[in-house]
Each structure stands twice: as structure tokens, then as C-alpha cells.
């Protein structure tokens, strides 16, 4: 197990490194520049060139990247060109809203998805077909559209929940929960569908195995059979889907945080990209990547615990 963790961490370092290079390159390829953004549409080309030079943005991309990288080793993530805030402060402020959003969404997706999946597998027939239908809907509806629909219905028309915004749990826990409901629901929509589908398939397969029929023939109570042996058999592919859903949710924060005005890393990336604020994009993407690697590592550990075969191969 320790070897597994050590190997994973050793592999993660080059991944992080490659990710920073890719982000820097891609962000530099986005048309436009920060100076034009700052100076507005009426600026003369000379003034734009002058400001780009002042900000050091006229240097070769490689030089800018190496500067940024050198900063990282000193613990300096750079400063936002627009807000003048150190990126480390922004990451600190913005990590938790994204963390709560993605985590709650993963939990809700997992709980509801697994429940749906098990029910569909056990009942079969129409339940499975209804679930497939809902699943297709969940996967194909864009999450920002679902988000707007939820806002209009629950905040505008019914007035039950706040439309937008975020409150830290330590400031007002009730407010924190009420503001999380709509974004978490919007985000879980596709996740529930995916997890339910995976659970149904894995569970159906489990139920068709010889050992299950054997146990059932021996008078094992069906409920216990499904919940104990069936779920355990289905756990690994379902877990893989849950982990992939969590990673997906992190990507989803980019659009959803903007719609719900949640001050997280996703909206920071979105804003940074339109503004050409490289330090902001780099910082947020670096943190995203680290979290995703960590989630993958945790998934591997849980696999190993659940399945002795994986353990033996590790």
C-alpha cells in the first residue's frame, strides 16, 4: 500500500508539471491580451503596446513561463493583473466554496445515483427504462440551463431559496446550506444519471452471477443478498464512476459558479481566461490538478481495500 501511494505521488509530479506548461501555452494562444482588456476598446495601439511592455507581457512565452515557475518554487504564485491581489490569497479565499460545491454534489450524486441504480436493477423492466430515459436527459441537458431553470423556479417564482451567492459555513451555517441547494442540485443532475446507469448495469451483472443464484437458492434473504453481496460486487465500477463524476464536477464549477455567483476557483478560471490574467488561470488550474490527482489516489486506495486482487497486483 505504501508502495502504491509512493508510486502515485512520484507519477503526479511530472503530471502537475506538464499541466502547468499546457495551461500556459493554451492560455497564451487565446486571442487578445490583458492590456487591451485593461485599456478598453478606445485605446490606441501604441498605448496597448506600452502597457503590455510595462506588465512584462511582451516577453517570449517561455521566458514568462520560467519566471512563473521560479516563483512557484519560492511559494510565490504571482499577482492578478487586474485585482492586484496575490494569487495565493485568491486561492485561499476561493478553495472552500469550490470544495464544498464539488463534494456535496459528488455525495448527492452518489447517494441518489446508487439508490436509483439498485432499484432499477432489482425491479428491472419499466423501472430500468424510465431510469435510462431520465439518465439520457440528465446527461444531455447543459448544467447552466438546468441551473437557470432551478433559479427561476425555486428563487424567482416560489421564493424558497436564494437565487445566487455564497455564505461560508462558519459565518452562518443555515445560510450556507440554503445557498448550496440549487448549485448542488444543478451540478448533481448529470452525476446522478451516470452513477445510476453504472450501478444498474453492475448490479444486474452481479445478480446474474452463479454465486448469487446459489445463495438465493439456499434461502438467503433477498434484501441482504442485494445490499451486502450485490453492492460489494458492483462497488468497483460504481466507485470508478463516482470518482470520475467528482472530477467532472470540478470542470462543471467553471460554468456553474459563474451562474450562481459562487466565489470559487471555477469562476476564477472563467474570469481569468476572458481577462487574459495568466497568473490567476495558472494558480487555479494547478490547484484543480492537485485535487484531481488526490481524488484519483484516494480512489486507488479504496479499490485496493475493496478488492484483494488489485492489492495483489499493486
Partner 1 sequence: MFAHHARRRRNRALALGALTASAALALTACSGGASGTDEEKVLTIVSVAPPVSLDPYLQNVDPVNIWFIELAYDPLIRVDGAGELVPDLASSWEYIDDEAKQLELTLREDVLFSDGTEMTAEGVAASLSYAISTGVNGAAWLGEGTTAEATADGTVVITSAESNPSLPSLLTQRVLLGSVVNPTALDEPGVLLNGTHGAGPYVLDSESTVADSSYVYEPNEHYWDQDKIQWDRIEIDIVANTAAALQAVQSGQADLFRGDTATGESAISAGLEVEAIPFGLIGMNYIDRNGELAPELADVRVRQALNYAIDRDSIAQAVYGEWGTPGGALALEGTIGFDEETQDAFAYDPEKARELLEEAGYADGFSIDVAYVTSVLSDVTVQAVAANWAEIGVTANLVNFTDAGQAVSEITAKGYPIAYYGYGQLPPTIVARSFFDGGANQYNPWVTEDAELNELLDAASQAADPADAQEFYADAFTRAYSDLAWQGGVVNSAQVFIYDPETITNVRADTNSATPDIAWEIAPAE
- Tell which one of 148, 236, 240, 306 touches partner 1 (CB under 8 A): 148
268 interacts with partner 1 by CB under 8 A: yes
Q: Do 151 and 144 meet the contact criterion of CB atoms below 8 Å apart?
A: no
- Rounded distance between C-alpha atoms, residue 132 and residue 125, angstroms: 11
CB of 210 to partner 1, least distance (A): 26
Within 208-227, which residues bind partner 1 (CB under 8 A)?
A: none
- Tell which one of 28, 36, 64, 216 touches partner 1 (CB under 8 A): 36
- Rounded distance between C-alpha atoms, residue 163 and residue 156, angstroms: 7
CB of 79 to partner 1, least distance (A): 8
Q: Do 151 and 163 meet the contact criterion of CB atoms below 8 Å apart?
A: yes
- Listing DSSP states for 250-295 in one string gives HHHHHHHHHHHT--SHHHHHHHHHHHT-HHHHHHHHHHHHHHHHHH
- Tell which one of 4, 43, 55, 122 touches partner 1 (CB under 8 A): 43
260 interacts with partner 1 by CB under 8 A: yes
The alpha carbon dihedral of 279, 285, 15, 298 has a sign of positive
77 interacts with partner 1 by CB under 8 A: no
Within 275-314, which residues bind partner 1 (CB under 8 A)?
A: 276
Site string for partner 1, 184-203 (x = CB under 8 A): xx------------------
156 interacts with partner 1 by CB under 8 A: yes
91 interacts with partner 1 by CB under 8 A: no
What CA–CA distances, in Å, run from 42 to 27, 45, 61, 229?
24, 9, 27, 68
What are the residue ranges of helices labelled H in the chain? 2-29, 34-39, 45-54, 61-73, 87-123, 125-140, 143-150, 173-208, 210-217, 222-224, 231-260, 265-275, 278-306, 308-313
Of the ranges 19-27, 100-108, 218-226, 231-239, which one interacts with partner 1 (CB under 8 A)? 100-108
101 interacts with partner 1 by CB under 8 A: no
Of 102 and 147, nearer to partner 1 (C-beta) is 147
Query: Which residues are bridge partners to 79 per DSSP?
Result: 86
- Binding-site ranges for partner 1 (CB under 8 A): 30-33, 36-45, 47-48, 79-80, 82-85, 90, 93-94, 104, 107-108, 111, 144, 147-148, 151-152, 155-156, 159-165, 167, 174-175, 177-181, 184-185, 258-263, 267-268, 270-271, 276
Amino acid at each position: 500500500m505504501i508502495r502504491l501511494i509512493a508510486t502515485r505521488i512520484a507519477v503526479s509530479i511530472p503530471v502537475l508539471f506538464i499541466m502547468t506548461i499546457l495551461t500556459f501555452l493554451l492560455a497564451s494562444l487565446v486571442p487578445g491580451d490583458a492590456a487591451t482588456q485593461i485599456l478598453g476598446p478606445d485605446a490606441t495601439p501604441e498605448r496597448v503596446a506600452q502597457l503590455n511592455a510595462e506588465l512584462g507581457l511582451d516577453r517570449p512565452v517561455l521566458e514568462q513561463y520560467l519566471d512563473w515557475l521560479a516563483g512557484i518554487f519560492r511559494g510565490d504564485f504571482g499577482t492578478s493583473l487586474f485585482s492586484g491581489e496575490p494569487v495565493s490569497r485568491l486561492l485561499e479565499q476561493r478553495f472552500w466554496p469550490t470544495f464544498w460545491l464539488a463534494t456535496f454534489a459528488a455525495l448527492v450524486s452518489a447517494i441518489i445515483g446508487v439508490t436509483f441504480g439498485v432499484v432499477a436493477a432489482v425491479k428491472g423492466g419499466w423501472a430500468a427504462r424510465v431510469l435510462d430515459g431520465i439518465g439520457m436527459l440528465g446527461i444531455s441537458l447543459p448544467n447552466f440551463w438546468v441551473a437557470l431553470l432551478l433559479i427561476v423556479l425555486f428563487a424567482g417564482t416560489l421564493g424558497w431559496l436564494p437565487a445566487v451567492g455564497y455564505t461560508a459555513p462558519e459565518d452562518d451555517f443555515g445560510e450556507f446550506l440554503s445557498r448550496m441547494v440549487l448549485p448542488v442540485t444543478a451540478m448533481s443532475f448529470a452525476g446522478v444519471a451516470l452513477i445510476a446507469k453504472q450501478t444498474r448495469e453492475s448490479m444486474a451483472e452481479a445478480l446474474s452471477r452463479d454465486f448469487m443464484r446459489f445463495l438465493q437458492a439456499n434461502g438467503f434473504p433477498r434484501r441482504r443478498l442485494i445490499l451486502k453481496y450485490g453492492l460489494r460486487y458492483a462497488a468497483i465500477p460504481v466507485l470508478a464512476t463516482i470518482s470520475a463524476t467528482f472530477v467532472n464536477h470540478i470542470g462543471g464549477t467553471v460554468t456553474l459558479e459563474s451562474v450562481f455567483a459562487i466565489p470559487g476557483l471555477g469562476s476564477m478560471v472563467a474570469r481569468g481566461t476572458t481577462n487574459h490574467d495568466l497568473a490567476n488561470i495558472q494558480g487555479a488550474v494547478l490547484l484543480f490538478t492537485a485535487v484531481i490527482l488526490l481524488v484519483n489516489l484516494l480512489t486507488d486506495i479504496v479499490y485496493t481495500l475493496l478488492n484483494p486482487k488489485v492489492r495483489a497486483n499493486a
